[in-house]
Structure 1
Amino acid sequence: MESNSTNTTLTLLAGQMVLAVDCDLLLEPEGPFPLRGARHCHLTELDTDLLGLTAASCVILPLFTLGYDAMTAVELLEDLGYGGRIVVLAPPLPKPAVVEQELRQMGPGTRLILISTR
C-alpha cells in the first residue's frame, strides 16, 4: 500500500521497539524513511534469541537488498514464529498493493504493511 505520509507512519513506530533488518541507510535522517531509535541487524543475525532479546514489536526490512528480498526475510520471520508487525520499505512501485498482497500471503496477513516512496 503506498503511503501518503511515510514520515507519519514511521513516526508512529518511533514509540515501539523496532528491529531494522539490513536497512540502515534507508532509516538515516537523510534517507527516504528517517526513523531514530531502531535496533539494527543483518538477516544472518536474525534468530529467535535476537527477537526475544529485543522484544521487537515491529520488524522493518527492505523490499530488495543485496543477497535477498523481502520474501526471504518474511519467510524466515514466519519460521521463527515472529508474531509482530512487519513493515517492508520499497522504492516507487507501479502496483504496491499487489506486492503487499503477495507478501501478506506468505503468512503474516495484515500484520505486514508495505510502504512505498513516491
Structure 2
Amino acid sequence: MKKYKVQKSPFVVPTTDGKLIEEHFGLSNQCELSIAHMIAPPKWSEPFQTPDFDEYTYIIKGKKQLNIDGDIVVLEAGQSIKIEKGARVRYSNPFDEACEYLAVCLPAFSVNLVNREET
C-alpha cells in the first residue's frame, strides 16, 4: 500500500458570495486537517466566527483583512498567520483586487466547528 496520496481533483465548495474554495484535503476525504486554496474577490467579507479549530493562512497574491478579537490585521503576499481556536474573527477583502491564499485548519474545517454569527 502506498504511503502517499496525490490530490488531482480538489472538492470545490459551493458558495454564493463569489469566493472560490478548493479543498485539497479535509473531511471530504477523511483527513484530520484541511488544506484549501481560496480566492476572495474584491470587496468580499463574511460574518464573524469563533472556530473550534486553529487556522493557518498564507497569502499568495493580494491582501486580506482580519478582525481578530477587535484587532485589525492586514496580511499581504508572502505573509502568514496562525489564529488559535476560540478567537473571534472576521475575514474580509475590502481591497480592489482579489486575494489568493491557502488555509490550513486543524482539526479539519467543518461547518459544525466554525460557529458563524448571524448577520
TM-score, with length taken from structure 2: 0.29
Highest Rg: 1 or 2? 2
TM-score, with length taken from structure 1: 0.29
Greater strand proportion? 2
Greater helix proportion? 1
